[in-house]
């Protein structure tokens, strides 16, 4: 982890990426709550049929700290976030945050996440560490969420408690280092994949407790497809990491041991490999 110069900290540019799909009843409240705190917002709307995108445009016209990115169609929160990350990086953000647009995440916690990047490269707002909580979720929803995090934690062999949450803060260097083009997850798996990639790249990931509350308006976009995607993506991520490590080893051996110069016979022998 490279330390940020303390003198630069005050001038750090941060932006909250807010993916929206049919969040008409929520988008204004969350955007205003963030703007009032002086936090820059990038709404990423996937052409919501309920007019969320147009409402976001009005907010952007009124509030200087608000921008909107319009995408043609709904492709899941993963691709929406990736578009947001690229835009934020291109515009010079030092810290890039993820947050749900349905007010499940408390705008008052954004500063805590930002502050925690003093000692971390990625900060996760966590429901499953001491002090974290969930309000108003039924038993099934709790089971899917907690079970999903436990499953991913076990299969990936990591210590993170909340792998599926969507309240996160990345230091710019993390997003620049991760190969964003290679991130293909669309639903909750996106949260698992990005955190796992950051850990594997050697970044420091910390969890801070948050109080999560179920949405009051609009509907969840969680679906069976999203849950199934997370179920198969997790072992696939681990497998890919293992294969990557195995492929790396022979190369490391090759670098460590100087290769003897070929004899003239070997050098002129026909090669079998392409």
Ligand X SMILES: Nc1nc2c(ncn2[C@@H]2O[C@H](COP(=O)(O)OP(=O)(O)O)[C@@H](O)[C@H]2O)c(=O)[nH]1
- Per CB under 6 A, residues contacting ligand X are 19-21, 23, 44-46, 74-77, 80, 100-102, 104, 166, 220-222
Dihedral class, residue 157 (left if φ above 0, else alpha if ψ from -120 to 50, else beta): left
Q: Is 67 in the site for Mg ion (CB under 5 A)?
A: no
Instruction: Give me the least distance between CB of 17 and ligand X, in Å please.
Output: 10
* Minimal CB distance residue for ligand X: 220
In this structure, are residues 173 and 85 in contact, taking their beta carbons and an 8 Å threshold?
A: no
Spatial CA neighbour of 43 closest among 13, 12, 66, 24: 66
Question: Is position 26 an interface residue for Mg ion (rule: CB under 5 A)?
Answer: no
In SS3 terms, 212-271 reads as EECCCCCCCCCCHHHHHHHHHHHHHHHHHHHHHHHHHHHHHHHHHCCCCCCCHHHHHCCC
> CB-based burial of residue 70 (10 Å sphere; 0-12 exposed, 13-18 middle, 19+ buried)?
middle
User: Following DSSP, what letter does each residue of 76-136 receive, concatenated?
Assistant: -HHHHHHHHHHHHHHTT-SEEEE--SSS-S-GGGHHHHHHHTTS-SEEEEESSSTT-EEES
**Minimum distance from CB of 82 to ligand X (Å)?**
11
- Select from 198, 197, 229, 253 the least CA-distant residue to 77: 229
| Residue 193 near which of ligand X, Mg ion, none (CB within 5-8 Å, type-dependent) | none
71-100 binders of Mg ion (CB under 5 A):
100
Total residues binding Mg ion (CB under 5 A):
3
Find which of Mg ion, ligand X, none residue 214 binds, CB within 5 to 8 Å per kind.
Answer: none
Please say which residue, 120 or 226, places its beta carbon nearer to ligand X. Answer: 226
What residues pair up with 40 in beta bridges, in sequence order? 15
Q: Pick from 45, 67, 102, 207: which binds Mg ion (CB under 5 A)?
A: 102
For the CB of residue 230, give the shortest distance to ligand X in the complex, in Å: 11
Contact pick of 14, 40, 65, 104 for Mg ion (by CB under 5 A): 104
Distance of closest approach, residue 80 Cβ to ligand X, in angstroms: 3
Query: Using CB under 5 A, which residues numbered 175 to 204 contact Mg ion?
Result: none
Shortest Cβ 37–Mg ion spacing (Å): 20
* Closer residue to ligand X, CB minimum distance, 27 or 93: 27
CB-wise, 28 or 75, nearer to ligand X? 75
Query: Three-state SS across 180-223?
Result: HHHCCCCCHHHHHHHHHHHHHCCCCEEEEECEEECCCCCCCCCC
Q: Which one, 30 or 178, has the nearer CB to ligand X?
A: 30
Q: How far is the CB of 41 from ligand X (least distance, A)?
A: 12
**Closer CB to ligand X, 4 or 144, in the complex:** 144
Interface with Mg ion (CB under 5 A):
100, 102, 104
């Amino acid at each position: 982890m490279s330390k940020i110069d303390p003198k630069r900290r005050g001038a750090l540019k941060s932006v909250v990426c807010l993916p929206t799909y049919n969040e008409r009843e929520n988008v204004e409240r969350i955007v205003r709550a963030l703007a009032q705190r002086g936090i820059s917002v990038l709404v990423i709307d996937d052409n919501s049929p309920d007019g969320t995108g147009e409402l976001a445009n009005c907010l952007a016209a009124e509030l200087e700290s608000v921008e909107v990115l319009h995408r043609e169609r709904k492709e899941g929160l993963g691709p929406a976030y990736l578009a947001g990350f690229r835009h934020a990086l291109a515009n010079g953000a030092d810290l890039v945050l993820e947050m749900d647009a349905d007010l499940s995440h408390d705008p008052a916690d954004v500063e805590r996440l930002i502050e925690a990047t003093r000692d971390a490269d990625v900060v996760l707002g966590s429901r499953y560490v001491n002090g974290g909580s969930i309000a108003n979720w039924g038993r099934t929803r709790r089971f899917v969420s907690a079970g999903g995090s436990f499953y991913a934690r076990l299969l990936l062999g990591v210590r993170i408690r909340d792998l599926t949450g969507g309240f996160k803060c990345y230091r710019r260097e993390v997003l620049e280092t991760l190969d964003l083009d290679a991130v293909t997850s669309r639903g909750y798996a996106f949260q698992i994949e990005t955190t796992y990639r950051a850990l594997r790249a050697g970044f420091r990931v910390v969890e801070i407790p948050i109080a999560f509350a179920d949405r009051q308006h609009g509907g969840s976009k969680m679906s069976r497809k999203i849950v199934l995607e997370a179920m198969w993506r997790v072992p696939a991520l681990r497998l890919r990491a293992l294969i990557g490590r195995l492929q790396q080893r022979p190369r490391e051996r090759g670098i460590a041991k100087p290769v003897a110069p070929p004899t003239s016979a070997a050098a002129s022998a026909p090669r079998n490999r392409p």
